[in-house]
Amino acid sequence: MTAAGRPALGWWLLILPALLLLLVFYVAPILQVLAISVTEPEPGLGNYERIFTSESVQRVILTTLRICLITTVLALLLGYAIAHAITLASPRARGWWIMAVLVPLWISVLVRAFAWVTLLRRQGLVNNTLMNAGVITEPLPLVWNEFGIIVGMVHYMVPFAVLPMLASMREIDPRLLAAARGLGASRAQVFRSVFLPLSMPGVIAAAVLVFIFSLGFYITPAILGGGKTLMVAEWISLQILDLIRWGLGTMMATMLIIAILVTLAVFSRIVDLRRIFGSGA
């Protein structure tokens, strides 16, 4: 077996650098986070008890879940519209549609948050335009609140929703749609009884992806929330950088990991996880 065993060792050596880097500089710091959550300020589950006793902890969790669910639903709806259009578009138009999704996906999250602040703040372009047109007399509170967070987060998440849905819609045989039309189904019927059911695996994959990305999202909520509406990630950074409460911060970080892994585990039974992350780049 040495003849077969030796080359295998060579291939394993190729894996080694990445594996070591990941274990030493990624997994170890994360494990330390888990460890701190049960050792500081004193050993035990005291930090986790706060989930049941502290109103502020509960409020942050509920706010995060609410915003993430709304974001997921909106990103799915809008993303579905685009993915559907791309699937049925002519090859030339398809390129443009895909650019409209991919370019925003890779544009800096900071640029996008800045653009939304420019548009939505009190003297922003939206409020100024509406006031000049005489539609409103007082500027609307469009940003530094939950509304602003959701607008910015949905904007960030739509491309992530499109990719898995698009992958799944491309597997739908277009002749099925044409056949349904030919047999006398209306456009709405074709969509409801043929296209929608066949695209469901993509929708579920997209939902999982957008939801878990939203849960730990930091930059956009921090900029567009204005420090008043706190989501989990910003709350964690506040605990650690400003209040130096490592135990509480790492407890919430651990909860975040658990929430994400549980979501993935639950849905891995109905949807191929490779589809979620394989199409990410």
Partner 1 sequence: MDGIHPPGRTARGLAWATALYLVLPILIVLPVALTDQRFLSLPQDGISFRHFATVLTSPEWLGSIWQSFVIAVFATVLSVVAGTLCAIGCWRISRRATELVRVLMLLPLIIPSIVYAIGLYRYFGPLGLLDRFAGVVIAHGVTGIPYVVITVSTALAAFDPRLEQAARGMGASLAQTLRWVILPRIAPGIFSGAIFAFIHSWDELVMVLFIASRDVFTLPRRIWDGINENLDPAMAAVAVLLVLFTTLLLMLDLALRRRRDS
Stretch that binds partner 1, among 7-15, 48-56, 58-66, 131-139 (CB under 8 A): 7-15
Stretch that binds partner 1, among 59-67, 119-127, 135-143, 196-204 (CB under 8 A): 119-127
Out of 100, 131, 140, 238, the residue judged to bind partner 1 by CB under 8 A: 100
Burial class (CB in 10 A: 0-12, 13-18, 19+), 202: buried
Closest CA relative to residue 211, chosen from 60, 51, 30, 75: 75
Answer yes or no: are the C-beta atoms of 82 and 89 closer than 8 Å.
no
Answer yes or no: are the C-beta atoms of 175 and 95 closer than 8 Å.
no
Stretch that binds partner 1, among 31-39, 45-53, 59-67, 133-141 (CB under 8 A): 31-39
Interaction with partner 1 in 192-251: which residues (CB under 8 A)?
A: 212, 215-219, 223, 233, 236-237, 240-241, 246, 249-250
Burial class (CB in 10 A: 0-12, 13-18, 19+), 197: exposed
What is the rounded distance in angstroms from the CA atom of residue 61 to the CA atom of residue 58?
5
Distance in Å, CB of 114 to partner 1, minimum = 5
Quick note: the x/- pattern for partner 1 over 138-177, rule CB under 8 A, is -----------------x--xx--------------xx-x
Answer yes or no: are the C-beta atoms of 162 and 98 closer than 8 Å.
no
CA angle 18, 19, 25 (to 5 degrees): 85
Distance in Å, CB of 46 to partner 1, minimum = 19
Out of 39, 48, 97, 146, the residue judged to bind partner 1 by CB under 8 A: 97
Distance in Å, CB of 52 to partner 1, minimum = 22
Distance in Å, CB of 10 to partner 1, minimum = 4
Interaction with partner 1 in 50-69: which residues (CB under 8 A)?
A: none
What is the rounded distance in angstroms from the CA atom of residue 17 to the CA atom of residue 164?
31
